[in-house]
Structure 1
Amino acid sequence: MYDHFKNKGLCFVFCAFCTVFFVGCEPGPDQIELREKIKKVEVFIVKTEDFEETIVASAVASAHMEYRISTEVSGLLKIKQAEWGDRVKKGETLFEIDSENFILIVKAKKAALARALAQLGFMQAEHKRKKPLLQSKTLSQAGWEKLQFDLAAAISEKNQAQVALDQAQRNLRLTVLKSPIDGMILETYHDTGEVIAVGTVLARMADTTWMTFDVGVSDLELSHLNLGDTVFVRIDALSKEERKGQITRISGNASPTRGTFPLEVRLENAKRSILPGMVARLRLSGEKHKTQVIIPMMAIHQENDIPFVFLVQDQKALRRPVKLGKVLGDRVLIQKGLKPGDAIVLIAQGRLKIGEPLDVIQASVKP
């Protein structure tokens, strides 16, 4: 009986001990609150890298070569075979001026040339016939000199008649205006039935196999650009795909109005998909930098216009002032304040305080 009560007492003591032990091992309210106060952060591991600055500019596409189709003779515009937007081949007829008067002029000049040739033939025969008379002194010296003068005049009249005929034939040919290139008609300015004066521009056309873009850059940017450099071009109206162009001209003089240096970028347009006037975004390679510290912009904080980052050391937050350099999109160059291997806070749960403990949940070498 005594043993029975003794065993029950031991069991009671053992249960009480276990209860006290496990209750004592559970975290108290203070410990739970402390754990909840430790903020979780995501860090970025600082490293050095090489980078190249990018010059971004907008420009309007222009045809590599533009031509103005203008008249060299006056007359009535009889035929118009070109409209804006048409693609034409070299040698294709675009316009015709009424040629009726020019045909009549050619006929008249041919007749004048025939008369001059006849007169010249007569004078040459006279010269040949009377030359022996001079030798036999049957013809006076004065008569011989007059004969030579008349022969020279006949030759001159023949030459003048030939020039007049050539000019008349040329004017007749100029009544037909043909395309000087394979290209596209950009604009036309006159319609059939209008009387056209000499020098009137009938149309403007372009060779669009190559397109050019005029870009202005600063003097600092200019020093890093060279002829032949690759330029990436994206046409807003077309696909987002970038095309490769080249710098073909660099001006040595700054624009007096803009204060920038003009340069020309040339881009192949074999499919003729790029049209004059389309807006493009150009990306040029600028200054190159070696082994620079670059961090995500989101890691930068400011207080009283002084930039700083939160550094993680021994799982605690430290404040580190930094000197900022150039902004590179969503990243920034650090000129002073950080070194490779430093862990800086990118994302934190709430506002950080100097010296407070941190729980680093993710380390990354990329922004």
Structure 2
Amino acid sequence: MHQLSRSRSHGFARSAAVLLPCLLALAACKGGAGPADAQAKPGEKPPEAVPVEVAKAGRRAIAASYTGTAPLEPVAESQVVAKTSGVALAVLVEEGQPVRAGQTLVRLDSARAELQAAQTAAQMRKLEANYARAKQMAEQNLLSANDHDQLRFDLENARAANRLANLELSYANVEAPISGVIASRSIKTGNFVQINTPIMRIVDTSRLEATLNVPERELATLKPGLPVQLQVDALPGKTFKGAVARVAPVVDSGSGTFRVVCAFAAGGELQPGMFGRLRIDYDQRADALVVPRAALLDDESDPAVFVVQGGKSKRVPVKLGYLDGAWAEIRQGVKEGDQVVVAGKTALRDGSPVQVIAPAAKGAQVAAADAAAQR
């Protein structure tokens, strides 16, 4: 019995010697899991910094404006028509030639009108002589009052007929109704011209106008006299200054718009028919806090920007004021001097690490980051 007990004790000791290292190893694995998980795995890289370009929020003058497009139209335009028929003996102007009101443009054959004027003039002189003698006879009571009145009425009728004949004769010289430039000409010397048929078109290019159909919400802001800037595709890089000439006081019920007419001095470069982009400035702020418009995230309902703080990006909601070209006024959310991301923002998330690069180094890195984010 004693030998059996010794044998069992020896077996338990061997079993304990085998199990103890296993239990210690298991305890070590469980106890060391926290520190191992808190550190990055040896084969895993930290997130790469996104290359971005930044700009500082600063102060500058900014304008509130309304922009639109419209063609340029002449302030006055006229179709030249002949008031009588006849052969064009001479066409005195060419397309593009400036003319003044009353200048003779075309001379028509006037032989028939000259004969008619001469005939009525002779009849008028005859009746004038008869009436002079009748007046003397009436003073001597040698002519009845009725005969005297009849001769006076005949003379007045002859004078009217002569004035009409001279008027018809004057129509042989086709004159410019307004001052301007010959825009088109449809006849040549020797052509037969029909009465009341348009033969030329004159446009007054001394002043050009552009008419905008503006939404009714702008009715209270756009007034006559406001400055207007104009750019046309035909003259790139040039800006022309004008002013609001007239504002229609009535809103069109069908379109919900009203007409704003802007006027510009032609100056020899602007021409009727050019298509222009107009900007009407209706308010100014001399010291507004602004950021580049490129910094705004593409979300009109919730405007925001990315601000770089401590090497990371932070999405900051902002309250916008006026938008003026490449600048956006910030009324709330960003302070002066804050660095806002203007390039590379499509690859960012709130808290992303960033690498600020110089504008000259923007190049392929920022473009690659934007392309990767869009994919």
TM-score, length-scaled by structure 2: 0.69
Counterpart of 1:279? 275
Q: Deviations over 1:109-138 (max 9, x none)?
A: 01211221232133223223336xxxxxxx
What CA deviation, in whole Å up to 9, does each residue of 1:185-243 have, x standing for no partner? 11223444554443322211022121111122222233222211111122322352212
Does residue 247 of structure 2 align to residue 236 of structure 1?
no
Residue in 2 aligned with 1:129?
A: 140
Cα displacement (A) at 1:60: 1.5
Measure, in 2, the Cα distance between the counterparts of 1:174 and 1:349: 73
- Give 1:166's aligned amino acid: R
> Equivalences for 1:214-233 in 2 at 5 Å?
214-233=211-230
Maintained 8 Å contact 2:81/2:198 = yes
1:72 aligned to 2:83? yes
User: What is the root-mean-square deviation of aligned Cα atoms in Å?
Assistant: 3.8
Tell me, yes or no, if structure 1 residue 184 matches structure 2 residue 195. Answer: no
Cα displacement (A) at 1:102:
0.4
Aligned counterparts, 1:262-301, within 5 A: 262-270=259-267, 272-286=268-282, 294-300=290-296
* 1:152–1:215 Cα change, 3 Å: same
CA distance in 2, matches of 1:349, 1:77: 72
User: What is residue 10 of structure 1 aligned with on the other side?
Assistant: none
Q: 3-state DSSP class of the match of 1:280?
A: strand
Residues 82 and 259 (structure 1 numbering): CA distance in 2 closer, same or farther, change over 3 Å? farther
Q: Deviations over 1:160-194 (max 9, x none)?
A: 11111111112111210123444211122344455
Larger deviation, residues 112-121 vs 338-347: 338-347
Check whether the contact 2:86–2:194 (CA below 8 A) recurs between aligned residues.
Answer: yes
Assess, with a 3 A threshold, how the Cα gap between structure 1 residues 157 and 47 changes in structure 2: closer, same or farther.
same
Percentage of pairs with the same residue:
26
Which 10-residue stretch deviates more, 114-123 or 104-113? 114-123
Write the distance in 1 (CA, Å) between the matches of 2:170 and 2:298.
Answer: 77
Distance in 1, matches of 2:98 and 2:140, equals 65
CA distance in 2, matches of 1:130, 1:302: 104
CA contact (8 A) 1:213 1:266 kept: yes
For the residues of structure 2 that align with 1:306 and 1:263, how far apart are their CA atoms?
Answer: 32
What residue in structure 2 maps to residue 105 of structure 1?
Answer: 116
Could you report, residue by residue, the CA deviation over 1:280-303 in whole angstroms, capped at 9, with x for unpaired residues?
222211455687664345545579
AA matched with 2:198: V
Instruction: Report the 3-state secondary structure (helix = DSSP H, G, I; strand = E; otherwise coil) of the residue aligned with 1:204.
Output: strand
Instruction: State whether structure 2 residue 168 is matched by structure 1 residue 118.
Output: no
**One-letter code of the match for 2:237?**
K
Q: Distance in 1 between matches of 2:55 and 2:162?
A: 87
Matching of residue 169 in structure 1 with residue 166 in structure 2: yes
1:206 aligned partner: 203
Whole-Å separation in 2 of the counterparts to 1:360 and 1:71:
74
1:16 is aligned to none
Task: Look up the equivalent residue of 2:119 and give its one-letter code.
Answer: A
Distance 2:167 2:319 in 1: 75
Matches within 5 A, 1:1-367: 43-46=54-57, 51-130=62-141, 147-255=144-252, 258-270=255-267, 272-286=268-282, 294-300=290-296, 309-322=305-318, 329-330=325-326, 332=328, 337-340=333-336, 342-346=338-342
In the alignment, is the contact (CA less than 8 A) between 1:40 and 1:349 conserved in 2?
no
What runs of 5+ residues in structure 1 fail to find an aligned partner?
1-29, 132-143
CA distance in 2: counterparts of 1:342 and 1:123, whole angstroms: 105
Number of equivalences = 318
Contact 2:63 2:322 in 1 (8 A): no
Could you list the per-position Cα deviations for residues 128-167 of structure 1 after superposition, in whole angstroms to 9, with x for gaps in the alignment? 3336xxxxxxxxxxxx7xx110000001111111111111
Deviations 1:226-265 (A, max 9, x none): 2111111223223522121111111112346643221111
Q: How far apart, CA to CA, are the structure 2 residues paired with 1:64 and 1:317?
A: 55
Bigger mean CA offset, 97-106 vs 348-357: 348-357
- Tell me the TM-score normalized by structure 1: 0.71
In 2: Cα distance, 1:302 partner to 1:240 partner:
28
Structure 1 counterpart of 2:22:
none
Q: Is the 8 A contact 2:98 2:182 kept in 1?
A: yes
Question: Which range moved further: 291-300 or 119-128?
Answer: 291-300
User: For the Cα contact (< 8 Å) 2:63–2:324, is it kept in 1?
Assistant: no
- Unmatched tracts of structure 2, length 5 or more: 1-40, 360-375
Kindly provide the amino acid, as one letter, of the partner of residue 205 in structure 1. Answer: I
Whose relative contact order is higher, 1 or 2, with alpha carbons under 8 Å and at least 6 apart? Answer: 1
Q: Distance in 2 between matches of 1:346 and 1:275?
A: 39
CA distance in 1, matches of 2:298, 2:235: 41
SS in structure 2 of the partner of residue 130 of structure 1: coil
CA distance in structure 2 between the partners assigned to 1:209 and 1:261 by the alignment:
26
